[in-house]
Structures are given as C-alpha cells and as structure tokens.
Amino acid sequence: MTPQAADALLFADALACELAVPAEFVALAPAEPQRHQQHAAAVLAALAQIEDARRDGDDEHDESPAAARRLEAKLDLLLGLFGRLLREREGAPPARALRWSTRGARLRQRVDAAPGASGLLRLQAAAWLPETLELPAQVLAAGDEAVWLRFAPAPAELADALERHLFRLHRREIAQARRPRRSP
C-alpha cells in the first residue's frame, strides 16, 4: 500500500489529531491484544474522568475553594515530576510527530517492518501522565521517515474511549489555533 492510500484509509472522513508525543512502534506478535486493549481503555477512561472534572472546574462560576485549587496544582506538579523521572529512568521514546484517528496512526519513525507486520503503538496519552498506552496495530505502509499503522479491531469500550480522547485533543488544537498570538 502506498503512503497516500494509507493516509486515505486512516484519515479520510475521520476525526484526526496531529501532535508531538513520546511514541514508538514496536514490531512484535502481540500475544494478547485484548489485554493491551483493556488496559488502554482503562487509562483513557480515567484520563477522561480527570480532564472532564478539571474542565468542569474551569467555569466562570467556579466556587471551589482556593485551597483545593492549590492542592490540585501541587498534585499536577508532582505528577509531572514523577512522569519525567520515570521516563528518564525507563528510557521513554522520544517525542515524535503523530497523526492519529480511531482507525490508526502515522508516526514519524523509521521502522524495519514489512507491511502486514504486527506490533504495538506505544504512546504517552497526556504530558502529565507517565502511563503508556499500548495499542495493537498492523503496519499498512512504511517509508523512509514514517510508518502507517492500522489499529486492531477494538472492543466498543476502547473505541468509545479513544474517540472521546481524540475529540478532546482536537478541541484543544482548535482552541490553541484561535488564541491571539502575542508579539514579542
């Protein structure tokens, strides 16, 4: 499959996001894709719950006490520090350009895997969360600078959680694009 055909298959008429995150594709035969999918669904569900609670607290009528907001800010800092230390210790993958949808992903990584090879797309779902998502995937196409991956058929729970996560990321991309840029 050509890279253009893979792009069309993965992203045509689909909500897709582009960002740079610690991510890598590891070619291997996933013995238990369900285990990886269940874990990914649980991580995405917890992440959604946390981010939705934070968004609800951002209302202009926020009546939460200042002490609770300070405590949340301290926890954010501690989680960020813990995540950075853990990534340094475990040798987390470098940040790479990733475009993904619920169907699959294009990752800027050179991979020595033939189309049809199975493996895992490992990525960090949130900057403050050291947990890595491992999504079973199959190589559609590989080029000198990128690999196109189709996600394994996912249970409804993971498909819904992934769609929700991508929607939140897309909404953030739009909000950042609309923010006025400050001149130096």
Give the tens place of pLDDT for each residue, 37-94.
877 888 788 778 777 766 655 555 455 677 776 777 677 667 667 766 766 666 678 8
HEC-encoded secondary structure of the chain: CCHHHHHHHHHCCCCCEEEEEEEEEEECCCCCHHHHHHHHHHHHHHHHHHHHHHHHCCCCCCCCCHHHHHHHHHHHHHHHHHHHHHHHHHCCCCEEEEEECCCEEEECCCCCCCCCCEEEEEEECCCCCCCEEEEEEEEEEECCCCEEEEECCCCHHHHHHHHHHHHHHHHHHHHHHHCCCCCC
Going by C-alpha positions, the residue among 130, 37, 149 that lies closest to residue 92 is: 130
Out of 9-23, 57-71, 103-117, 145-159, pick the least confident.
57-71
The CATH class of the 3-57+65-174 domain is mainly beta
**Model pTM score:** 0.73
- Each domain of the chain, given as residue ranges in start order, spans 3-57+65-174
Query: How far is residue 97's CA from residue 113's CA, in Å, rounded to a whole number?
Result: 19
Which whole number is the average pLDDT over 5-9? Answer: 92
Q: Note the pLDDT of residue 112.
A: 86
Going by C-alpha positions, the residue among 17, 30, 14 that lies closest to residue 117 is: 30
Query: pLDDT digits over 8-36, tens only?
Result: 999 999 889 898 988 999 888 766 667 77
80: Cα separation from own chain's centroid: 16
Q: Note the pLDDT of residue 64.
A: 62
Q: Note the pLDDT of residue 105.
A: 94
